[in-house]
Structure 1
Amino acid sequence: MDPARFDIVTLPIVEIELSRLSSVRSPRTSGEDPEHIETLLSVEGELPPILVHRPTMQVLDGLHRLKVARIRGDTKIVARFVDGSESDAFVLAVEANVRHGLPLSLADRKRAAVQIIGTHPQWSDRRVATATGISAGTVAELRRIGGDGGNEARIGRDGRIRPVDGSEGRRLAAEIIRSDPGLSLRQVAKQVGISPETVRDVRGRLERGESPTPDGSRHLRAESHPLRWREPDFGRALDRDRLAVLERLKADPALRLTEAGRILLRMLAMHSIDGQEWERILHGVPPYLCSVVAGFARDHAQVWTEFADRLENRVTDMAAG
């Protein structure tokens, strides 16, 4: 069972006797939340099924629903069974508790990340971050503190194996981008043997005058790269050049006069807000929803990345045809 490619909602729903269930290995170390239990008790009708690891009968997701069933005097509860190893089942438990219901606390998510690093050392920092709802940087720091940095390659969120030290690939990608800026992300990625997302990061670093590798010097000589874009900063106003591009797009009849074009323009405008507005939105998210919103943000970022890749592929295919 690969937790990253597992769809829980496809599992059949069954009834299980409460006496058969265990909750000793829950990622929620802080215990049950009385207010959340009260909220669930006030819900009319049947609550969603819990998630149970069949080999151990461990409750992976639904401890509060289990508590409500016991308070109500129920002897059975609806559930979905999953099989597989206990380590993979723990990952599913963390993912389920991060993405809906009452989110795991930051401390619980960090503890979960440490455990997943131990059981899945081949996973990339981003893949562990996606499962636990914390940043890839935090995962990297937890991995460093734990002394787990010896793997030469790790498995990413897309299931592909990539080397931990990608500095050489980044340098090669930078050379190709400088020599031919018109190449698409996938074209550069194919030549070098790295992911399109890594190429995107390298291109962005060159545009900002930075080294293609994260640990390199921050700024390069201006003549060393032909691509130049003002460095973005979350705390600053939006780049005027980008705003100017957006205004040109709004004036283009091919977008302005078609339904699909207008939808795209609205989406681009929605994200084209300045740093102060982003900060206001950031601080307006309640703490108990931070991990949920972060998950949505990462998912939407991935959608935009795939959208950009398909656009570039479309241009490449048209040029080749």
Structure 2
Amino acid sequence: MSSVQTTGKPDEIRSRCPLGEREHQLPVSACTPVRVSQLLPSDSPRVHAVNLEHVRALAQSEAPLPPIIVHGRTNRVIDGMHRLQAAKLNGADEIEAVIFDGDDEDAFILAVESNIEHGLPLSLAERSTAAERIIRARPDWSDRAVALSTGVSAKTVSAIRSRIARDIPTATRRIGMDGRVRPVDSTSGRRAAAELLAADPSLSLRKVAKESGVSPSTVRDVRERLDRGDNPVPPTYRVAPKPDPAEPPAQNDDKGPPSNPADVAHSLSNLRSDPAVRFNECGRMLLRLLDPQFITADAHERLLDAVPPYWAGDLAGIARAYASAWNHFANALEDMEPTQDS
């Protein structure tokens, strides 16, 4: 009975995310020989699970290979499909493995982490797809925690989360990379941190973070904003107070935002004729973005009829992403608007 030569200590197998700034131990067994005939294909983040050229290169290598990782509950290979195929190519009956004891989603997360750390790299599309699956399975993980596990940026994770927001539970608190649970909306925490820093500027970031319930990086941002004389809460975090249901809705005056296509067209015409906007590059870019973006009510039906039903969900997500971006831009503009006293 032949087996492949491997090297590596199973107790060095760790997960990077999200429980702690240091890697944490995973529930794995000691290294043990496993019959290759008993192993099943992995639940892989790869589009193409096996690259034959890479398998042949491993089969020809004389260097000892690390043990593969096998999911104990399913016998599926978590990490090491190429090593397994190389062993089969060399006629081995057994291969050294460590057995992972965890649920299916933890096994998938470990597979992603293992594949971005060594071996044949995952493509950006594969890592993004893996990030979406992890968000669906662990909606309480922070964007940075998912990013660390998948090798994409936190901004990419945030965009994916926004796109699938309707399909996942709304989490009011998330687990960060340090294992701490923090609120998604850090407005109150930022204000608490600002009060602590104003009372005692010598306080450490970690002490303020612990007392205010936000991350040290958020406290650093609050401190920098206070040093510049800015509001500790960024404009995109600020929301208008909810109206009192007992009060009648406020009426728009002539200076309010345009509420119909004619008003929009009139405002755009005035904007285009303003030299301060027309004669600078960013102003012209803004006009180009605004020109085709307004959809009139009578155009809605024609546009809806042109969309195949199987694209409806994806296009709705795209439209909401555009709407969210413009809404953030509008909030920033309102923060710039001069007050009556200025």
1:156-167 correspondence to structure 2 within 5 Å: 156-167=176-187
Cα–Cα, structure 1 residues 194 and 37, in superposed 2: closer, same or farther, change >3 Å? Answer: same
Question: Could you tell me which residue of structure 2 aligns to residue 84 of structure 1?
Answer: 102
Compared CA separation, residues 96 and 72, structure 1 to 2 (3 A): same
Q: Is the 8 A contact 2:146 2:157 kept in 1?
A: yes
1:191 aligns with 2:211: yes
33, 37, 44: which one pairs with 1:19?
A: 37
RMSD after superposition: 2.6
Contact 1:155–1:162 under 8 Å retained in 2? yes
Query: 94-103 or 184-193: which moved more?
Result: 184-193
Q: CA deviation at 1:9?
A: 10
Q: Is the Cα contact below 8 Å between 1:53 and 1:59 reproduced in 2?
A: yes
Structure 2: which 5+ runs fail to align?
1-13, 238-342
Q: How does 1:1-321 map to 2 (within 5 A)?
A: 3=15, 4=17, 6-7=24-25, 11-147=29-165, 148=168, 150-207=170-227, 211-216=231-236
Q: Secondary structure at the match of 1:134?
A: coil
Deviation at 1:215, TM superposition (A): 4.2
Contact 2:131 2:157 in 1 (8 A): yes
Scaled by the length of structure 2, what TM-score is found?
0.58
Q: What secondary structure sits across from 2:130 in the alignment?
A: helix
Q: Percent identity?
A: 48
Larger helix proportion of the pair: 1
The farther-off stretch of 185-194 and 158-167 is 185-194
Query: Residue by residue, what CA displacement relative to the aligned partner does 1:283-316 show, whole Å, maximum 9, x if unpaired?
Result: xxxxxxxxxxxxxxxxxxxxxxxxxxxxxxxxxx
> Which one has a bigger Cα radius of gyration?
2
Please tell me whether the aligned partners of residues 42 and 78 of structure 2 are also in contact (alpha carbons under 8 angstroms).
no
Unaligned runs of 5+ in 1: 218-321
**Counterparts of 1:176 and 1:8, CA distance in 2:** 38
Q: Is the 8 A contact 1:143 1:149 kept in 2?
A: no
Normalising to structure 1: TM-score of the pair?
0.61
Q: In 2, are the aligned partners of 1:116 and 1:128 still within 8 Å (CA)? A: yes
Q: Does the 8 A contact of 1:32 with 1:64 survive in 2? A: yes
Distance 1:12 1:119 in 2: 28
Q: May I ask how many residue pairs the two structures share in their alignment? A: 217
SS at match of 1:77: strand
Offset from partner CA, 1:180-219 (integer Å, 9 cap, x none):
32222123224323232321232234446654334449xx
